[in-house]
Each structure stands twice: as structure tokens, then as C-alpha cells.
Amino acid sequence: MDLFTIVATIWRHKIATIPVILITLIGAAYIIVLKPPTYTSNAEILLVYPPSPPTAAQIAADPALSKINSNNPYLTYGNMVLVADVVIDVANSPTAGQTLQNEGVTTKYAVALENSFQNPPVIQVSGTGDSSAVAIQAATLVTAQVLDGLREIQAEQNVNPTYMITGEEFVKPTVATTSSSSKLRTLIGFAALGLVLMLIAVSIAQTLEKRRKARPAKPRSKEPKASKGSGGPKGPQEARGQEPASARPDSRPDSRPDPRPDSRPDSRPVFGGDPWRRPDSPDNRPPDREQDPRGASVGGHARPGRWPS
């Protein structure tokens, strides 16, 4: 399917696609113009190894050092990256999130490990907000929560504070910058949602169009209604909606004689008077014929009559 086919399909179903396009454009305009920018403030924490356990010479010089527990079980991992993973999991736990919310952090924040995989590792903290002050405050509170979590997990193992792993905040959240990536991500997500809705609208419109085309057409001629007095069964032609043969005019020529009077001109001779009277009527008798009193004509034509009394 090429670009022209896609455009033609969208235009053919414009009743369903144009509202989706308008909603998507209005949402994109709101994100670009009216949505406030997002500020981000970052901080970085470097994990620091604790001091080494006292040597025999140091214990001989200060016998009190022998009573201090210098064992730290987190140092047995051999790599501080594992310790950083534990600290990040604690900072992202629901308990820590509830604590930060109680302290006033109502915006998003993130705690993650730097991708350099150096040893000792670096933990990155970021706080966001609708303003620069809110972002800086969020990053500061989250950084303090990470340092408290590092100290708490070691205190649970009864590690002496002198031999605990500490964190050094070498990048502090003092400034905040506007983040265009968040607005861009929101715009891309909204455009993708509009595209999905358009595909759904086109699919529904095509399905309805196919069903409408597959629906059988209704017959134009209606079935003749039976008269009220006829209760008998209908013939096969009447059942199919056709007119019975008895009701149709016969197209064959009629061989019966026409009962109407002949409209042709009369070829009979006219002997005067009314031409439509019979020739032997008294008014149409020939003028050269004479009739005797007995009713017989002189010319030999016998006529009924009586002898005079």
C-alpha cells in the first residue's frame, strides 16, 4: 500500500478520520504552546570505601582499637557496584517514596546507576518540577534519602560508623534546566495515540461499508395484496409477486367479430332521400316505378299488400 492509497482511504472515510485528526492537532498545539516546561535538577553521589581495619602495630599502640568491630559484610562482595544496586533499590522502594512524599516531594524523581560501571560507582539522582525551585528541592531531598538508605543498610548489619561505606555528593543540585525531551516525548506519545485512533476509525468504517454492500437489496415491486373476500391459496405466479395470466391483457390478435357498427362507408346505391335508410323503403323507391292499388309494382317487384276493399 503506497502513500496515495493511504491518503485516498483516509479521505474516503473522512467522516470518521477528520475528527481524529482535529483532536490530535489540538492536543499537539496544547503540548507545544500551552503546556508549561519541565525543569530538571541533577545530583551525583560517589560511593567511598571505608578505612582499612587497624593493623597489629596500631592495636599495640592503642589497645582500644581491638574492641571496635571493623567488619563490614558489604565489602565482601568484592565490588561496590553491588552495594550501589542495593542502595538504588532501597531508594526506589514504596517506603522511601512515601517518606519523600511526606517531606514535600510531589513530582517525579529518578535514582539510577551511572553507565560508566566504574569502581567505586556513581549514583545519579534527578528531580523534576514545574519550576526551577521545585526541581532543586526534589533533587536535594532525594539525595539525602539515598545517603540515609546507605547508612541504614549498614547499621542493620551492626557495622561500626567508622568502617561504613559512605557517599560523597560531588555534584550538588544547585541549578535546574528546562527539559525539552519531556515535552517531545509527550508530543510523540500523543501523536502515536492519534495514529492508533485513526487506524481504528478507518477499520470500523471499512467494516461497516463492507456490511452495507453485502446486504441484499430490497425488491422494488411489492407483492399484490389479496382481496378481502378471497381466502383461497395463491397461485405460483401470485406467490412470486407476478400478475396472473387472467389479469394480463391478451397480446394475441382478436379473431372475434367487432360488435360495433361498421364504420366503413356504405357501398349500397342511394336512391334519394336519407342514405342510411333501406333501399326498399317508401322514401327511397325509384321514381320511375309505379305501384298499383294492389301493392304490386309495375316493374315486376312484388310488394306485400292487400287488395283494396
Q: What is the pLDDT of residues 198-250, one digit of tens each?
A: 889 888 888 888 888 887 766 665 555 555 545 555 555 555 555 555 555 55
Residue ranges per structural domain of the chain? 35-179
Query: How confident is the model over 271-300, as pLDDT tens digits?
Result: 445 555 555 555 555 555 555 555 444 444
pLDDT at 138: 92
Determine which of 98-102, 120-124, 217-221 has the lowest per-residue pLDDT on average.
217-221
pLDDT at 206: 85
Residue whose C-alpha cell is 543540585: 173
Pick the more confident residue, 201 or 107. Answer: 201
Peptide bond into 120 cis (omega under 30): yes
pLDDT at 123: 93
Long-range contacts of 100-106 (CB under 8 A, 24+ apart): 100/141, 100/142, 100/145, 103/141, 104/137, 104/141, 105/137, 105/138, 105/141, 105/142
Dihedral pair phi/psi, residue 272, rounded to 5°: 95, 160
Round to whole Å and give the CA distance between 20 and 3.
19
Pick the more confident residue, 160 or 251. Answer: 160
What pTM was estimated for this model as a whole?
0.53
Determine which of 42-51, 70-79, 139-148 has the lowest per-residue pLDDT on average.
70-79
Contact residues for 9 (Cβ-Cβ < 8 A; gap 6+): 202, 206
pLDDT at 211: 84
| Average pLDDT estimate for 56-63 | 83
Architecture of domain 35-179: 2-Layer Sandwich (3.30)
Any idea what the Cα angle at residue 301 is, between residues 297 and 305, rounded to 5°? Answer: 60
Q: Please, which pLDDT band fits residue 154 given cuts at 50, 70 and 90?
A: very high
